[in-house]
């Protein structure tokens, strides 16, 4: 591993766009990989206000960046701005990874595959009926990936119309009214929180909402700051299997790193330990 990271005129640049973005551990992870593999590259946080997103995205390409990750709340907006998108991005209706090429912006969505790889790494094989909370960009990616793996997907969102629109777009799944989802847990194998609930601010009474959960239910949260979210704390207190969002972050990141910096990183205990330590 290189002892230090030097920025030069030849340094390849990438970053993460979001609002907020200060919670992101992507810079820590990607810069660690740059040092580990001796890559002359750097990855920076890019806090981008909603009114400036499109200008910033195109400006970064013009400024010579190799590409960016896109996080909340821009995953769907990024899809509309890309010149080319992968099948995964088109299926999910969202983009989380953008590669800047001479021909334009190429958008990909690695959230769904990263989520499923993280489940498997925790010994959870997605199957049967799955309940997803949320209908935003990450929820779309997760739902698409689970549908493609043969799961029966229920989607609950505070605005039912958004859940219905997602079901229609995916040509699969079932939209559920928000107030109904706790009553359906007994028939589910997996509950996925794909909202920002628990990331900051007030959190619902998850213990009460999980009252109908069966002993075989696994509970996953895409949020990783905090790593042990209030939902995961409540699930663990009931003796349920929990899967935090840190592994999803790591597993989904490799595709972008390889595209921007030319090296496929290995997902190992060292990078988990690095990011876990930063969350303590």
State the Cα torsion 52-115-135-177 to the nearest 10°. Answer: -160
State the Cα torsion 81-7-37-67 to the nearest 10°. Answer: 0
Note the helical H segments in 111-266.
111-121, 137-148, 160-170, 206-209, 230-237, 246-261
What token pair was written down for 258? 């390889």
226 vs 171: CA distance, rounded Å:
33
What token pair was written down for 158? 């505070």
22: CB partners within 8 A, 6+ apart: 45, 47
Catalytic residue among 6, 75, 103, 241: 75
Is 75 a catalytic site residue? yes
Beta strands in 92-211 (DSSP E): 97-101, 104-108, 129-133, 152-157, 174-177, 190-193
Q: Give the CA distances from residue 170 to residues 86, 110, 117, 142, 175, in Å, rounded to whole numbers and listed in that order.
A: 15, 17, 21, 11, 11
Query: Alpha carbon 181 to chain centroid distance?
Result: 22
55 vs 53: CA distance, rounded Å:
6
Beta bridge pairs of residue 12:
41
Residues with catalytic function: 75
């Amino acid at each position: 591993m290189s002892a230090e990271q030097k920025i030069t005129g030849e340094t390849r640049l990438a970053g993460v766009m979001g609002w907020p973005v200060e919670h992101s551990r992507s810079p820590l992870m990607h810069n660690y990989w740059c040092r580990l593999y001796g890559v002359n590259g750097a990855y920076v946080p890019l806090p981008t206000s909603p009114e400036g997103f499109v200008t910033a995205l195109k400006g970064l390409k013009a400024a010579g960046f190799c590409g960016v990750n896109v996080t909340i709340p821009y995953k769907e907006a990024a899809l509309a701005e890309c010149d080319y998108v992968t099948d995964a991005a088109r299926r999910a209706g969202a983009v989380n990874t953008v590669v800047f090429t001479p021909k334009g912006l190429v958008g990909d969505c690695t959230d769904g595959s990263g989520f499923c790889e993280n489940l498997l790494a925790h010994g959870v094989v997605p199957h049967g009926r799955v309940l997803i909370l949320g209908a935003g960009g990450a929820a779309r990616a997760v739902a698409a990936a689970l549908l493609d793996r043969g799961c029966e997907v229920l989607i609950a969102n505070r605005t039912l119309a958004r859940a219905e629109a997602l079901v229609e777009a995916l040509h699969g799944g079932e939209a559920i009214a928000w107030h109904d989802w706790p009553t359906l847990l007994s028939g589910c194998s997996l509950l996925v929180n794909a909202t920002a609930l628990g990331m900051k601010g007030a959190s619902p009474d998850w213990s009460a909402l999980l009252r109908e959960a069966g002993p075989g239910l696994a509970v996953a949260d895409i949020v990783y700051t905090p790593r042990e979210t209030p939902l995961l704390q409540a699930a663990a207190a009931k003796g349920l299997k929990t899967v935090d969002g840190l592994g999803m972050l790591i597993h989904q990141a490799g595709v972008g790193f390889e595209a921007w910096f030319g090296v496929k990183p290995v997902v190992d205990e060292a990078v988990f330990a690095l990011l876990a330590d930063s969350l303590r």
